[in-house]
Amino acid sequence: MRVKRSVRSKVHGTEARPRLSVFRSNKNIYAQLIDDVAGRTLAAASSLENDLDTGKPTEVCLQVGQRLAERAKEAGVEQAVFDRNGFRYHGRVKALADGARKGGLTF
């Protein structure tokens, strides 16, 4: 919680550049673009969606990142601020960020 608070104090999303928040559980990963000023979610994606390919966890996270980037473009968002939410930036969290970049979202 201390690390999460430290990261959140420095990262703040607006409508033009929302916060890409990542939550990683043991089995799944969730990501959403949040406008902190208005307090609403602009786009979201997770590994629980049925049409995602099953396979290695990092490959699934890459697909989740790409799907989030597609939904962000539909919402009119091209830039975001990455909030790793206290998780280390490697493995599945890094794969999600790479997928979002591959889909056209910039950090």
Residue 20 and residue 18: Cα distance in Å, rounded? 6
**Could you tell me the pTM of the whole model?**
0.89
Calculate mean pLDDT across residues 67-91.
94
Tokens encoding 45: 């994606």
Q: Per-residue pLDDT tens for 15-47?
A: 889 999 999 999 999 999 999 999 999 999 999
In contact, 35 and 72? CB cutoff 8 Å: no
| Architecture of the 2-102 domain | 2-Layer Sandwich (3.30)
Closest CA to 60 of 70, 49, 71: 49
91 or 4: which leads in pLDDT: 91
Give the whole-number percent of the chain exceeding pLDDT 70: 100
Q: What's the pLDDT at 9?
A: 81
Angle at 44 between CA 85 and CA 91, to 5 degrees: 45
Q: Report how far Cα 48 is from the mean position of its chain's Cα atoms.
A: 14
